[in-house]
């Protein structure tokens, strides 16, 4: 057991834990902070006759110091296996340009792009309707509870989105919601906390951005899937049936003639196969960019 002096306040304990976890993924840090805050606040509430300093001095002996908790979380994270490498691990090698065919991150990102439009529409509608109703409802007595419920729903949706991002893009996101407010905290204090928490607004911004991004992702994914399949399938069909349905270039007779011949159709099939690798690399790059955007806007530290 460490002999370091116990932190005097919950905030000091969390600050030390955050420092001890420096370099870990933001999602892991967020989970560790939420767990520690909930546990410490629960111990303080269960011992109303003791000061915060006295409770923390006792809790540290059983729960652990910030440094010990940080090491425990790092060990647990390293023990969890999955299809994606950990941030601190050396990325798996997949044989250069063509090795992307065996990279699970590319397929996860492509699936995320296909799901981006329906989820983006839902998030955008929810955010716009919620804001549009919350503002005028503040004129009525039920406006404040409604606004609090809406902000709570934004937190829940951002958590759900984080699970999707981690599952498909491999970016470590929080696996639990931030610690709930203390039971004795007033409604006005909860409103103040929600309005002053930058993650409330960054999460709302993320939900709004998901529609335009979803349109772009979905379009790129559909075109990226359909075009290679059309080139390969259409060229193969033309080779078998001795017809030409794939490409026509009336202004370039020599090119039009090329794609009416077997060598030209085989060339189109090869090009279609090459596009598959291009699309997978594109999806992998978009997944990397969007994962970091989600980490920036959704993770609360």
Average pLDDT along the chain? 84
pLDDT at 2: 45
List, for residues 176-207, the tens digit of each pLDDT value.
776 555 555 666 676 777 777 788 899 999 99
Number of H helices and E strands in the chain, helices first, is 10, 0
- pLDDT value, residue 1: 42
| Cα–Cα distance for residue pair 188/229, rounded to 1 Å | 58
Higher pLDDT, 113 or 267: 113
The b/e string for 162-191 (b: 16+ C-beta within 10 A; e otherwise) is bebbbbbbbbbbbeebbbeeeeeeeeeebe
Torsion angle in degrees (nearest 10) through CA of 225, 231, 236, 241: 120
Q: What are phi and psi of 52, to 5 degrees?
A: -60, -35
What is the rounded (10 degree) CA torsion for 164, 170, 171, 175? 50
pLDDT digits (tens, 9 = 90+) for 125-135: 999 999 999 88
pLDDT tens digits, 83-120: 665 555 555 555 678 889 989 999 999 999 999 999 99
Of the ranges 139-143, 202-206, 219-223, which one carries the lowest mean pLDDT score?
Answer: 139-143
Q: How far apart are CA 266 and CA 270, in angstroms?
A: 6
Distances (CA, A) of 2 to 32, 57, 60, 166, 234: 19, 12, 10, 34, 69
Burial (0-12, 13-18, 19+ Cβ within 10 Å), 116: buried
Q: Is the dihedral of CA 108, 35, 209, 142 positive or negative?
A: positive
pLDDT at position 193 is 73
Least confident of 31-45, 90-104, 134-148, 161-175: 90-104
Sequence spans of domains, the chain: 1-80, 91-301
Cβ atoms of residues 193 and 92 within 8 Å: no
């Amino acid at each position: 057991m460490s002999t370091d002096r116990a932190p005097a306040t919950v905030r000091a304990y969390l600050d030390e834990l955050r420092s001890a976890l420096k370099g870990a993924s933001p999602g892991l840090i967020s989970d560790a902070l939420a767990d520690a805050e909930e546990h410490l606040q629960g111990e303080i509430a269960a011992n109303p006759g003791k000061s915060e300093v006295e409770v923390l001095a006792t809790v540290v002996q059983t729960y652990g110091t910030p440094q010990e908790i940080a090491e425990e979380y790092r060990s647990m994270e390293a023990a969890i296996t999955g299809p994606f490498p950990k941030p601190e691990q050396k990325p798996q090698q997949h044989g250069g340009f063509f090795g992307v065919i065996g990279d699970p991150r590319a397929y996860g990102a492509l699936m995320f792009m296909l799901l981006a439009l329906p989820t983006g529409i839902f998030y955008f509608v929810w955010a716009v309707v919620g804001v549009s109703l919350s503002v005028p409802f503040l004129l009525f007595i039920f406006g404040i509870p409604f606004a609090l419920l809406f902000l709570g729903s934004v937190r829940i949706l951002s958590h759900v989105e984080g699970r999707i991002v981690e599952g498909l893009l491999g970016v470590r996101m929080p696996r639990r919601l931030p610690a709930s407010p203390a039971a004795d905290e007033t409604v006005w204090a909860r409103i103040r906390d929600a309005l002053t928490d930058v993650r409330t607004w960054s999460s709302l911004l993320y939900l709004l951005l998901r529609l335009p991004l979803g349109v772009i992702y979905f379009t790129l994914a559909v075109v990226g899937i359909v075009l290679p399949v059309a080139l390969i399938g259409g060229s193969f069909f033309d080779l078998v049936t001795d017809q030409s349905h794939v490409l026509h270039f009336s202004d370039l007779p020599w090119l039009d003639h090329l794609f009416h011949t077997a060598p030209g159709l085989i060339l189109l099939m090869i090009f279609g196969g090459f596009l598959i690798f291009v699309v997978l690399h594109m999806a992998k790059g978009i997944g990397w960019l969007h994962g970091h955007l989600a980490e920036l806007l959704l993770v609360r530290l």
